[in-house]
Chain A
Amino acid sequence: MKTHYLIPAIVLGMALAASPASAQKKYDVGATDTEIKIGNIMPYSGPASAYGVIGKAIDAYFKKINAEQGGINGRKINFISYDDGYNPAKAVEQARKLVESDEVLFILNSLGTPSNSAIQKYMNAKQVPQLFVATGATKWGDPKNFPWTMGWQPPYQSEARIYAAYILKNKPNAKIGILYQNDDFGKDYLKGLKDGLGDKAKSLIVSEQPYEVTDPTIDSQVINLKGAGVDTLVTITTPKFGAQTIKKVAELGWKPTHIITNVSASVGGVLKPAGLENCKDILSTAYLKDASDPTWKDDAGLKNWIAFMDKYMPDANKADGSLVYGYSVAQTMVQVLKQAGDNLTRENIMKQAASLKDVQLEMALPGVKLNTSATDFYPFDQMQMMQFGTDSWKLFGPVITGGVASAT
């Protein structure tokens, strides 16, 4: 019997004896005195290729860090990014290539819910961090079952709950109509909205209209919603369909209270194409600054971002929100690596990613801060509501915490 206690005691003793060494450099595969290898998987081709610029923005930011600061703590970042064409089977192949062949320290910001679902089990079995995944699905903050996977952006359900709370408070007798994309993204929002409305969901929601991402237009869905007597429209769409919806609503001379998801709230990408005159009073939420929103034109953070863009990505379209996204992801990563210091083990990377305290990114809204802990794997869980004026968003109300993190 006693030997059972003896073994842990010996291990503990060895660990204690080894502990002075922990102040020295410690590495896992993928980190050396001169280099940190970071893997990434992006849909550079295929149906979601528009998001590929996120990977390019991250790459450009790491190039800037390597060129201007000589890397992080003297180690250059080697960013290896592969294309999966938004195909989960290919994502598995690329993840295995990164981990087993390129031997990266961890994978950063792999994009898409299907692709990340496909590699999650593998990454956790291999105990390689799958950090700051580029999807807002709510399932990524589950440290109990998947301690090596962490999200980044506010979960979709958090955002939807904010809208639900807004409706319950300001329009308790609303006739809600929902237009949503028929996939994980749309359904996640829908769940958050219904959860947020609680018992009232059944009586308040008068019409739900799904559309397929492959549909050419959503005209008939919008007409159906108007016909159902909807006075509060919640538009859960990707950018192209967001612009179409705003346009169609204006064409019909319809004036519902219109809430549009943050995904489709870009001034340059959605509202301008839809016609700014059609966008008055639309509601949404934000957590990052919109570079095409005149509100920020004198903002120091935005100026830094523009300087970075001009130097490292001069050909990119600055109205593309994905560029701000990639830039901010890269900055979060740099923060984690700085915290990790010379202890570049996978375990410590995960530990540091889970110890972000009130980090204010340049391009995040003032007051919207990154916070994580051993039980909170949602770095961003705060947003602020905003309403469109004549040419820009006006933030209003307090910074709200979505509450999904505390609920799960």
Chain B
Amino acid sequence: MNTAAPVSKRRAYEAPAYWRWLGFLIVAAIALPLPFLLKNFFIFQLTLAMVYAIAILGLNLLTGFNGQFSLGHSAFFALGAYTAAILMDQYDVSYYWTLPVAGIVCFVAGFLFGLPALRLEGVYLALATFALAISMPQILKLSPLEHWTGGVQGIVLIKPNAPFGLPLNPDQWLYFFVFAVAALLFFCAYNLVSSRTGRAIKAIRDNPVAARTMGVNLSLYKSLTFGVSALYTGIAGALGGIAVQFVAPDSFTFGLSIALFVGLVVGGVGSIGGALFGAWFVLFVPNIAEQVSKGLAGAVYGVMLVLLIYLMPFGLAGLVRMAAMRFARAKR
């Protein structure tokens, strides 16, 4: 993970900036007309895919760019979802205002969790965050909190209608809403990692000792990255709760953490755009596996995963980069 060599190689593959804008325009050109062509159910699925993409992006900021492992992001996802749900259910807050609140709550939680986690590296950190993922559903079921969380029964939410009398049904509106939020968050993430702060974050991943020598405050940056990562995942959680219209402890088990992790690896560790593909993979491939064989769905999914990692060891983003480099070389 922390070895410098593959990273520097990866940097060599990096495409020019205008390609990224082109990439965004292509994604937007495909994504924006979709809600008018598809059935509501598919729109809902695509919305969920974007929600997962935001969460995977959050995890990627932490793992891919900062080199800290987390198997506990389902807990932040849950925290975001519950923050939004409780605000909407108990205090009649509008759904869009719940997003910043969920983000801030998760940022604080992530930052605070990041402080003790500073002492932990690699697999030990993975284990600590694993504990977080395991305990979250149980904490949500606690009877003293039941008044707010609804205990095991969860909280049922109302799907927002399109504002200003726009001629959109709730599924279409939510799709555009999530798309806008996702675009903003992806833009911010891109700017973050290419900024001075981003270089510090990456330097910590590549060589912590060198980074410290250069004057990077390791503990501050690591905790902050943990906070920002939790913020992203928390906003995704809030959007997910609103889209599904229901939050319950069993939606946020350890399995969700693993799903995000799989999405991270499949999409490409340390790649912003890869999160989109990773989300698409974790959402749709299990369904495809189930269609192939109901009894062996898990095994089929596993085989697909192994094949994919074998064919694209650096995720889809790695494959695209490699192709781009070949293309650039051929032009020369």
Contacts and interface: CB of A to CB of B under 8 A. Distances in A.
Contact of B250 (A101, A114, A187, A214): A114
B6 to A, nearest CB: 34
B250 A86 contact: yes
Interface in A308-334: none
Nearest to A48: B250
A180 interface: no
A83 B290 contact: yes
A214 to B, nearest CB: 8
Contacts of A47: 253
21 contacts: A44-B294, A82-B290, A83-B297, A87-B251, A88-B246, A88-B250, A89-B244, A89-B251, A92-B244, A93-B244, A96-B40, A100-B41, A101-B41, A101-B42, A113-B152, A114-B249, A118-B154, A118-B246, A121-B156, A183-B152, A184-B151
B294 A87 contact: no
A182 interface: yes
B231 to A, nearest CB: 21
B152 A184 contact: yes
Contacts of A101: 39, 41-42
Contacts of A114: 152-154, 248-251
B48 A93 contact: yes
Given A93-B45, A96-B40, A122-B245, 4 more contacts: A83-B294, A89-B251, A114-B249, A118-B251
B141 interface: yes
A87 B153 CA distance: 13
A96 B44 contact: yes
A122 B248 CA distance: 16
A269 B245 CA distance: 37
A99 B297 CA distance: 22
Given A89-B240, A212-B138, A45 B297 contact: yes
Contacts of A44: 294, 297
B245 A121 contact: yes
Contacts of B151: 184, 187
Contact of A87 (B156, B250, B298): B250
B255 to A, nearest CB: 7
Contact of B246 (A46, A85, A99, A117): A117
Nearest to B39: A100
B175 to A, nearest CB: 14
Contacts of B240: 89
Contacts of A92: 244-246
A191 interface: no
A127 to B, nearest CB: 15
A200 interface: no
A45 B40 CA distance: 27
> What are the 9 tightest A-B residue pairs by CB atom distance, in nearest-first order?
A100-B41, A89-B251, A184-B152, A118-B246, A88-B248, A114-B250, A114-B248, A96-B41, A89-B244
Nearest to A86: B250
A310 to B, nearest CB: 20
Nearest to B241: A89
A87 B246 contact: no
A97 B154 contact: no
A118 to B, nearest CB: 4
Interface in A357-406: none
Nearest to A92: B244
A212 B44 CA distance: 34
B138 A93 contact: no
A87 B42 CA distance: 19
A214 B297 CA distance: 24
Nearest to B48: A93
Contacts of B244: 88-89, 92-93, 118
Nearest to A113: B152
A93 B297 contact: no
Interface string A29-50: 0000000000000001111000
B259 to A, nearest CB: 10
Contacts of A96: 40-41, 44
A117 B247 CA distance: 10
A183 B246 CA distance: 18
Contacts of A100: 39-41
A117 B255 contact: no
A360 B116 CA distance: 62
Interface in A99-144: 99-101, 113-114, 117-118, 120-122
Interface in B5-59: 39-42, 44-45, 48
Contacts of A118: 154, 244, 246, 248, 251
Contacts of B154: 88, 114, 117-118
Contacts of A46: 255
A270 B205 CA distance: 52
Contacts of A93: 44-45, 48, 244
A348 to B, nearest CB: 25
Contacts of B40: 96, 100
Interface in B230-248: 240, 244-246, 248
A86 B256 CA distance: 12
Interface in A65-99: 81-83, 85-89, 92-93, 96-97, 99
A92 B244 CA distance: 7
Interface string B101-145: 000000000000000000000000000000000000010010000
A45 B298 contact: yes
Contacts of B250: 86-88, 114
B246 A89 contact: yes
Name the residue in B39, B153, B297 with the highest tally of chain A Cβ atoms < 10 Å from its Cβ.
Answer: B153
Given A121-B156, A212-B138, A87 B253 contact: yes
B153 A117 contact: yes
Interface in B150-182: 151-154, 156
Contacts of A113: 152-153
A87 B286 CA distance: 14
A227 to B, nearest CB: 23
A96 B42 CA distance: 9
A100 B39 CA distance: 8
B158 to A, nearest CB: 9
B9 to A, nearest CB: 38
A44 B295 CA distance: 8
Interface in B207-236: none
B149 to A, nearest CB: 13
A89 B245 CA distance: 9
Contact of B141 (A45, A86, A117, A183): A183
Contacts of A184: 151-153
